[in-house]
Structure 1
Amino acid sequence: MTSLPYTAILLDLDGTITDSAPGITDTLAYTFAALGRQVPDADELLRYVGPPILDSFRDRAGMTLDERMRALEIYRERYLDRGAYDAVLYPGMGELVRDIAEAGIPLSLATSKPELPATLMLEHFTIAQHFTIITGASADETRSAKADVVAEALVRLRAMDADLSRPVMVGDRVHDVEGAAAHGIPTIAVRWGYGDDAEHAHAVAVADDVAALRGLLGL
């Protein structure tokens, strides 16, 4: 195990393990329509994928706190019913998650999606069992910023006596890079998600495909 470059791995979900955009953007369109608001265009809706949803309702839609909480209520009901399953695994990611587990490397999900839908999604793709722990946003969204999710993942891994001497984050958005950096953790960015090269500027490395990511993880 000492020959591997990293002793623990934190994995983002949307845009890293799964292409979740169809279910998220469809649910967002439903939410805006239910609120009597104009539905943003497809490119704008895609910008909601990745960051904490309440932050996006505030920063992108200009909603008040009450409006955001109402939007979240509508969004969650629809997403848990339909949207969470409107996603696909990126080719090779299911096998990579399995191989990380088989290599004995502690593995935590680290997503700004609440833990319930995140867990349901991983179970849907039959890969939940490969994760040491599943860490996401709290149900009340008080833990949703990526830095806070990473902090919780580290607490849970440490409680399991995981070796955290050389952890790494794997994600597709700037929120992953910055959230991990807040704890001194490097990020490997992946190009198949929803981020762009500017968002990956401070990543320790960028993987063009899953084979490249395997190499960077020493698998």
Structure 2
Amino acid sequence: MNPYKVVLFDLDGTLSDPKAGITKSVQYALEKMNKAVPDEEKLESFIGPPLHVSFSEYCGFDEWHTQTAINYYRERFKRAGMYENELYEGIPHLLHTLNNQRFKLVVATSKPTVFAEKILKYFAIDHYFELIVGSQLDGSRSSKAEIIQFILDCFPDCELDEFVMIGDREHDLIGANQIGIDSIAVTYGYGSFDELMACHPTYLAESVAGVKNVLIVDPSKQEY
């Protein structure tokens, strides 16, 4: 019998491929900041981590310039970027199947909650989730560990071993490790194999079908 009751999904790189919208919005922000604008391929590192981390590490911005860049980014993202996005093949079927199996589904994303809600509604998959939890627009609750802990607090009747976090970047797995829950690393997103394996995920899934295999078909199966 599968031990999990609550399944946490990262959004970017796990439920959907947001590359176009995120990278174009980063390019817009950098142009506004009078910085060199790399091509989209070089900006893939922005997919997944909190924006303040990405702008600070990638551009070397101080706190003020980082927040200014984020404001420019959101200016374009809320207008167009959030819709330059597509679900990974098989995601609606997976969510429908998990709902039928009585799993409680939650989105756990570093993206601001208000944007995550709009994206899930745009894709018409918002009804599958009991909660959609992201960061705040002021930058608070942005680490994945904080987001996961907030979700756990919403399910006080569940034990730690009844939760599992699914994500494609190290931040998802590190957050799960810090809180003490299991994790499924997906390799079809934007984290490299080495990045994911360094975080020692409980399971590895190479596809959306692989996630289903772990959760339903054979929960003891590890796709290494």
TM bucket normalised to smaller: over 0.9
1:131 aligns with 2:123: no
Q: Sequence identity of aligned pairs in percent?
A: 36
Out of 98-107 and 161-170, give the one that drifted further: 161-170
Provide structure 2 residue ranges, at least 5 long, that are not aligned to the other structure: 218-224
Q: CA offset at residue 98 of structure 1?
A: 2.0
3-state SS of paired residue (1:26):
helix
Distance 1:97 1:137 in 2: 23
The correspondence of residues 109-124 of structure 1 with structure 2, limited to 5 A, is: 109-124=107-122
3-state SS of paired residue (1:189):
strand
Structure 2 counterpart of 1:213, one-letter code: V
Deviations 1:37-73 (A, max 9, x none): 1113333311111000011111111111111111111
Aligned twin of 1:190: 186
Distance 1:153 1:25 in 2: 29
Q: Which runs of 4+ in 1 moved over 2 A?
A: 40-44, 161-165
Distance 2:44 2:210 in 1: 25
1:92 is aligned, of 87, 90, 93, to 90
3-state SS of paired residue (1:16):
coil
Distance 2:100 2:73 in 1: 36
1:80 aligns with 2:60: no
Aligned twin of 2:142: 144
Q: CA offset at residue 166 of structure 1?
A: 1.7
The answer to whether the 8 Å contact 1:5/1:218 transfers is no
Structure 2 counterpart of 1:82, one-letter code: A
Deviations 1:141-165 (A, max 9, x none): 111111111111212233xx45654
Provide structure 1 residue ranges, at least 5 long, that are not aligned to the other structure: none
Distance 2:183 2:190 in 1: 15
Structure 1 counterpart of 2:165, one-letter code: M
The answer to whether the 8 Å contact 1:7/1:163 transfers is no
Normalised to the residue count of structure 2, the TM-score between the two structures is: 0.92
Normalised to the residue count of structure 1, the TM-score between the two structures is: 0.94
RMSD: 1.3
Aligned twin of 1:6: 4
The answer to whether the 8 Å contact 2:160/2:181 transfers is no
